[in-house]
Amino acid sequence: MRVAIVGAGALGSVYGARLALRAGCEVQIVARPGVAVPAAHIERADGSGEAPLDWRPREPVPVIPSDADVALVCVRYEQLDSVVPIAQGGHTPLVFLTPMLPQDHARLGAALRGRVVPAMPSAIAYRRDD
């Protein structure tokens, strides 16, 4: 399965690493031009004993690839509208892990021809730069 991840912050990095390394998905990060996507070192903080994941994503692309089976949108709330231009012209379902208000869902759904799928993340993540 080909998965595009829009946003390479804490949540996007966790989903990208887990999908690539645990589920065998082909993962492509979508980020603004000039944004460097660092390697991710993912550890569970719940004491489960699960081995850490180290993942180095491919070079990011500026738009959602046309051959992506699904795109996970992991942007900050104030960046929701930035998804419209990078998803225009495609048919890929867009699973928004960013919480939205009803007016956001209506606006994005109209702009993206009903491809918006609201979801709730099942992972909570934070990024430590050290």
| pLDDT at position 32 | 85
Distance CA 7, CA 9 (A): 6
| pLDDT at position 119 | 93
pLDDT tens digits along 35-73: 888 888 888 777 777 788 888 999 999 999 999 999 999
- The values of phi and psi at residue 110, to 5°, are -70, -45
- Of the pLDDT bands very low, low, confident and very high (cuts 50, 70, 90), residue 127 is low
Matching residue, tokens 């690493």: 17
pTM of the predicted protein model: 0.88
